[in-house]
Structure 1
Amino acid sequence: MHKKDMGLAVLIIVVGAVVYLRNPLFLSPINLGNTANLIGLFGLFAIGQGFVIMTGGIDLAVGSMIALLGVLFVEMVGKFGVSWPLAILITLGLGAIMGLAHGILITRLKMQPFVVTLCGLLIYRGLARGYTGEATAGFPFGASYPELEWLTLGRSFGVPHSFFAMLLVAAIAWVVLHRSVFGRHLYAVGRNEEAARYSGVRTGRVITVAYVISAVLAAVAAIYFAMFTKSVQPSSHGNFYELYAIAAAVLGGFSLRGGEGSIVGVVLGAVLLQELQNLVNLLGIPSSLNFAVMGGVILVGVLADQQFNRYREKQRTARARQSLGRGETAQA
């Protein structure tokens, strides 16, 4: 575990202890279960955002993708009678197509990630609202899908399945990012895309795959959110979720400059954000301050990242000077 990850874990424990001392309900089974469910839901697409940020890019379309894909999933299963396994595959496929489109626009047409995904944010949200006519998409009254509900809403040993899903995705993502050739290429592209290209890395493909991963995980989250809420209001469903994902990644040590970050960190970032949301609820802080809390957390996270990088740079410079000094002394 990186030093940043250890520091974040300690912060999570400290915040949890403070909240518990103020309100013992924090550690009640019901509250822990609900919090774990939200960590799983938000952690799924936060991991995908981490892959994109690793390349030095950003995906602002996550929330709108969750809204549009959630609407389409609910409509397929509830209105058109598509079997839920097939509906899941179609939803994941549509997510992959969205991510592929983002990647092609960024790598082939050389458009800025901010512009491409901002347009995606507007387009997907508009399509969701236009398709439903601003109405709420939901499952038919009294409809029941036992296997799907067990998969998405069920609990084993008191732990929500959404949390298990996030852990599974995190384990796979950890192997991909930290133990695979693709992961090494991803780090190389984030640190210096030009140098990676001259080293033989197919940078365009690496960046495109990162956006596909982000979109597919957003599609997975869309299915879980649709089942969790049982209905999708396209004008508000998934609003600002991209900010939660970016905040979790930044808190987890992902640098917005690219080339730095860990999967353990982004999971811990998602845990801390939901813990802070829980703090707001349990301590009676007005919910209207939620975004202020999140904005403050992002600001502190970015400042801490900058200060840490500056300190590390000074340490490297000092060690280089010491080594040079020792070399000159030996020659003399």
Structure 2
Amino acid sequence: MQKKDIGLGILIIVVGAIVYMRNPLFLSPINLGNTANLIGLFGLFAIGQGFVIMTGGIDLSVGSVIALLGVLFVDMVGKFGVPWPIAVAITVGLGVLIGLAHGILITRFKLQPFVVTLCGLLIYRGIARGYTAESTAGFPFGSSYPQLEWLTIGRSFGVPHSFLAMLIVAAIMWVVLHHTVFGRHLCAVGKNEEAARFSGINTRFVTITAYVICAVLASIAAIYFAMFTKSVQPSSHGNFYELYAIAAAVLGGCSLRGGEGSVIGIVLGAVLLQELQNLVNLLGIPSSLNFAVMGTVILLGVLADQQFATYRNRKNTERALGLLQKQ
């Protein structure tokens, strides 16, 4: 995984250098700050998506979860006057319940992750739209929440707090994935769930926990997005965010077959995606091509993963044959 991370880091530098040569505003403090903020916002839930993909699953409901929980958070704080720490706790708690529901349906009722989370995508978006009667949820005009705003949209030494929050989450998840028993079990379940079960691993617990982590990080991202946009339009807020998360995870080395992944790689994948979005804006490429860029990136990432897996399997086979011949 380290070689993939290094290669992705080099690609980020090369793309950044090309954009800078075409438009020096790329390295301006304002642009770097805005880009870092977006990296933090999207990186938060991309890390959660990566954990789900490592189990061999997928979560298509991320964008709708962000829309629904964003609407509820805005109304709790702005409309009903719930103290923001309590509103944050309730929002994260709802994220836990959503993740539990996904995990239980997948493990207990043996439903496909694609089906469960696709239904979630439709259900959560529908609830958000029905709850607001298709209207926009926003904070009252002139309202201010100093501490909450400082935590979410504030900056320290010019670095957006959303970016710092993502780094903190990434550090915690890096330890969880690479230095805990749960991390080893997660990869084992993704590589071969049946073999993992026979070896004594509680595969249900591992899978459910992965979906809870994904939903919790999506709920945290929902709070940051709500404070960043100041209002939530449930019909469009968070649309296609699940594609950003999947693209970042795939670019970061997470295999869609499961069993492989890197937190550092996911973060670098989020960086590259926002760098590409920045490229589209700075070079005057029509924003309507954004989705074409995302689709191309996902396709290339999957192709690269497939070719890498084929190459690795061939090398392992050649190595095994070489050992047999020596014997």
Common fold by TM > 0.5: yes
Give the aligned partner of residue 47 of structure 1: 47
Q: Map of 1:184-263 to 2, 5 A cutoff? A: 184-263=184-263
Could you say what secondary structure the match of 1:200 adopts? coil
Distance across 2 between alignment mates of 1:60 and 1:75:
25
Could you say what secondary structure the match of 1:234 adopts? coil
* Residue identity matched to 1:149: E
1:265 paired to 2:265: yes
Q: Map of 1:47-126 to 2, 5 A cutoff? A: 47-126=47-126
Task: State the shift of 1:209 in Å.
Answer: 0.4
Give the aligned partner of residue 172 of structure 2: 172
Distance across 2 between alignment mates of 1:320 and 1:203:
30
Distance across 1 between alignment mates of 2:111 and 2:306:
27
* Residue identity matched to 1:29: P
Distance across 2 between alignment mates of 1:98 and 1:280:
35
Distance across 2 between alignment mates of 1:8 and 1:95:
31
Number of equivalent positions: 327
Once the two structures are superposed, residues 3-56 of structure 1 have per-residue CA deviations (whole angstroms, 9 ceiling, x without a partner) of: 111110000000000000000000000000000000000000000000100000
Runs (4+) of structure 1 exceeding 4 A deviation are: none
* Residue identity matched to 1:276: L
Distance across 2 between alignment mates of 1:48 and 1:232:
22
Distance across 2 between alignment mates of 1:161 and 1:13:
23
Distance across 1 between alignment mates of 2:297 and 2:120:
26
Once the two structures are superposed, residues 165-205 of structure 1 have per-residue CA deviations (whole angstroms, 9 ceiling, x without a partner) of: 00000000000011000001100100000000000101011
Could you say what secondary structure the match of 1:135 adopts? coil
Could you say what secondary structure the match of 1:60 adopts? coil
* Residue identity matched to 1:243: L
Give the aligned partner of residue 31 of structure 1: 31
Distance across 2 between alignment mates of 1:194 and 1:316:
23
Give the aligned partner of residue 157 of structure 1: 157
1:318 paired to 2:318: yes
Distance across 2 between alignment mates of 1:26 and 1:185:
42
Distance across 1 between alignment mates of 2:68 and 2:307:
39
Distance across 1 between alignment mates of 2:149 and 2:60:
29
* Residue identity matched to 1:211: Y
Distance across 2 between alignment mates of 1:102 and 1:314:
37
Could you say what secondary structure the match of 1:40 adopts? helix
What TM-score comes out, normalization by structure 1 length? 0.98
Task: State the shift of 1:64 in Å.
Answer: 0.1
Distance across 2 between alignment mates of 1:33 and 1:213:
27
What TM-score comes out, normalization by structure 2 length? 0.99
Could you say what secondary structure the match of 1:134 adopts? coil
* Residue identity matched to 2:134: E
Give the aligned partner of residue 303 of structure 1: 303
Q: Which runs of 5+ in 2 are unaligned?
A: none
Distance across 2 between alignment mates of 1:188 and 1:322:
27
Distance across 1 between alignment mates of 2:188 and 2:220:
28
Q: Please identify the structure whose Cα radius of gyration is greater.
A: 1
* Residue identity matched to 2:17: A
* Residue identity matched to 2:67: A
State, as a whole percentage, how many aligned pairs show the same letter.
Answer: 81
Could you say what secondary structure the match of 1:142 adopts? coil
* Residue identity matched to 1:303: L
Q: Which runs of 5+ in 1 are unaligned?
A: 328-332
Which has the larger displacement, 311-320 or 154-163? 311-320
Distance across 2 between alignment mates of 1:21 and 1:264:
27
Could you say what secondary structure the match of 2:140 adopts? coil
Distance across 1 between alignment mates of 2:122 and 2:312:
39
